[in-house]
Amino acid sequence: MDKDKIVAALDIGTTKICAIVGRMNQHGRLEILGMGRCQSEGVTRGLITNIEKTTQGIVKAIEDASIQSGVDIKVVNVGIAGQYIKSSTHKGSIMRDNPQDMISVEDVERLTNDMYKLVMPPGVQIIHVMPQDYTVDNEAEVKDPVGMVGSRLEADFHVIAARTDAVSNIIRSVHKANLEIENIVLEPIASSMAVLMPEEKEAGVVLVDIGGGTTDIAMFYEGIIRHTAVIPFGGSIVTNDIKSGCMLLPQDAEKLKIKFGFAMAAQAQNNQIVSIPGLKNRPPKEISVKNLAFIIEARMEEIIDIVFSEIVSSQFIDKMSQGVVLTGGGAQLNALKELFEMRTGLECRLGYPTEHLGKSKLEAMKNPMFSTAIGLVMAGFKSVDDRENHYNVVRQQNVIKPPPTFGRQEPPVKEVKTNAAYLITDLLRKTKEFLIDDIKSSSSDY
């Protein structure tokens, strides 16, 4: 990692737009230099529906982050999510020219790059190609083929695609804010970089990022991403249910959910009442915390059941020994962890984005709602796949050393060329002298 490198990230969410600037300190920990945040008004369920309003939010967040960090932000890593994200598994293969040579990083890259040429439905483009297990000739389930010998290299790939118009709207909004995009990263992948431990990824774990408009899923096993999904429901739909069920204003419903909401009605007190001030001399509205919990529980059960069906459909549920890690702003609901464990039968913990975070003056960044933004900064320093991190080091240190010599050493090439040139010159000189003598002899005879 480049210690002098500074990375800026932009998380364009349904409820907030967040910009973060960070760098790696001398201990390899992420140091947050500045943060900007504003309300998002042009995004619905992860999809940008109003470019002008989104651009205004981006400009405001970037300005705040720039002032706080003292960094002139020009390039950003941007997150992408939404119901238009689709993932699938595909197999690819290449034939190598010389089977006796060891498989190189370039061979692996050529195979991966070929997968970007997959024919997708009209209006859909590939944003990520994630290699899973490789096969070298008849040797299957190879995690890293570099250094092996074989003629045919195959692999299973997790391919993530998005609607072209949705990607274009993100690019337009960022460019209108006078910014350039370095990478577009799927948000659950970014969140996993900030929240998950390497041991969890190796043993098998499910990351569930509950945002405002979407709930994102990423599954890992043996350190490799195995499945991703985006569910078009999040914390905003819970707020809407409270607004409709209790007849409140949206801002009151959100405050009520955050301060008094429970994901399990059984844990809410029966006799607790919350008073909401009325408008225009109207009497205050009294809300039962127990009834509020029933509204939240009904919707959260629906979201959890959809998440669990995605986990089951991935066919990796038996390998998820570390259970579920919840993150995102919606994961902070009281008793949500217990409800997840009850509905899925999997162990669960709340994930904070502190796994790679160093000391910082911004203590607010340790909140799960900033997991995606911090992960997007991490994506500027490393890849989610540890194999790719290793390959990057190999590429940077790509110095070809001469093979060792044993026994008698041959003279240098330069010396051989010099001796050969001398022999040819001497032969030409002797030939010339012989011809001159022959001509003189002939002339004398005549």
Asked, for residue 293, whether it belongs to a domain, the answer is yes
Is the confidence at residue 90, as pLDDT, over 70?
Answer: yes
Domain shared by 115 and 211, yes or no: no
pLDDT per position as a tens digit, 179-225:
999 999 999 999 999 999 999 999 999 999 999 999 999 999 999 99
DSSP at 404: P
Is the confidence at residue 399, as pLDDT, over 80?
Answer: no
Q: Taking residues 123-138, what's their average pLDDT?
A: 94
Q: Taking residues 128-148, what's their average pLDDT?
A: 93
8 A C-beta contact, residue 357 and residue 375: no
pLDDT band at residue 140, thresholds of 50, 70 and 90? very high
Domain shared by 211 and 334, yes or no: yes
Out of 133, 161, 189, a domain closes at 161
Asked, for residue 386, whether it belongs to a domain, the answer is no
Asked, for residue 324, whether it belongs to a domain, the answer is yes
Domain shared by 250 and 332, yes or no: yes
Q: Taking residues 137-148, what's their average pLDDT?
A: 92
pLDDT band at residue 167, thresholds of 50, 70 and 90? very high
Question: How far is it, in rounded angstroms, from Cα 431 to Cα 420?
Answer: 17
What is the predicted pLDDT for the residue at 441? 54
Secondary structure element (H or E) that encloses residue 278, with its range = none
- CATH label of the domain that carries residue 117: 3.30.1490.110
What is the predicted pLDDT for the residue at 25? 87
Q: Taking residues 390-408, what's their average pLDDT?
A: 58
Q: Which domain, by its residues, includes 278?
A: 197-352
Question: How far is it, in rounded angstroms, from Cα 389 to Cα 258?
Answer: 39
| Packing angle, helices 250-260 and 235-246, rounded to 10 | 110
DSSP at 262: B
Domain shared by 233 and 327, yes or no: yes
Q: Which of 204, 203, 211, 205 is nearest to 186 (CA)?
A: 211
- CA 105 vs. chain centroid, Å, equals 21
In sequence order, what are the beta bridge partners of 214?
A: none
Is the confidence at residue 111, as pLDDT, over 90?
Answer: yes
Domain shared by 150 and 207, yes or no: no
Out of 352, 375, 390, a domain closes at 352
Count of structural domains within the chain: 2
Half-sphere exposure of 36 toward its Cβ, with a 13 Å CA cutoff?
A: 24
Asked, for residue 131, whether it belongs to a domain, the answer is yes
Question: How far is it, in rounded angstroms, from Cα 212 to Cα 191?
Answer: 14
Domain shared by 129 and 213, yes or no: no
- CATH label of the domain that carries residue 262: 3.30.420.40
Secondary structure element (H or E) that encloses residue 399, with its range = none
What is the predicted pLDDT for the residue at 435? 54
| Packing angle, helices 289-313 and 235-246, rounded to 10 | 150
Domain shared by 210 and 316, yes or no: yes
Asked, for residue 117, whether it belongs to a domain, the answer is yes
Q: Which of 242-251, 354-363, 403-412 has the highest mean pLDDT?
A: 242-251
Q: Could you tell me the pTM of the whole model?
A: 0.85
The pair of three-digit structure tokens given for residue 59, joined into one six-digit string: 């400009």
Out of 136, 161, 186, a domain closes at 161
What is the predicted pLDDT for the residue at 412? 44
Domain shared by 134 and 265, yes or no: no
Domain shared by 113 and 255, yes or no: no
The pair of three-digit structure tokens given for residue 193, joined into one six-digit string: 């970089």
What is the predicted pLDDT for the residue at 215? 96
The pair of three-digit structure tokens given for residue 153, joined into one six-digit string: 């290299």
Q: Taking residues 292-308, what's their average pLDDT?
A: 97
Place of tokens 């790719």: 388
What is the predicted pLDDT for the residue at 123? 94
pLDDT per position as a tens digit, 31-83:
999 999 999 999 988 889 999 999 999 999 999 999 999 999 999 999 998 88
Asked, for residue 66, whether it belongs to a domain, the answer is no
Asked, for residue 327, whether it belongs to a domain, the answer is yes
Mean pLDDT of all residues belonging to the chain: 88
The pair of three-digit structure tokens given for residue 258, joined into one six-digit string: 């955050």
Asked, for residue 154, whether it belongs to a domain, the answer is yes
Alpha carbon separation from 382 to 160, 337, 358 (Å, rounded): 19, 30, 16
What is the predicted pLDDT for the residue at 365? 85
pLDDT per position as a tens digit, 426-436:
655 656 565 55
What is the predicted pLDDT for the residue at 280? 79
Domain shared by 155 and 224, yes or no: no
Question: How far is it, in rounded angstroms, from Cα 20 to Cα 372?
Answer: 10
Domain shared by 152 and 224, yes or no: no
Domain shared by 209 and 305, yes or no: yes
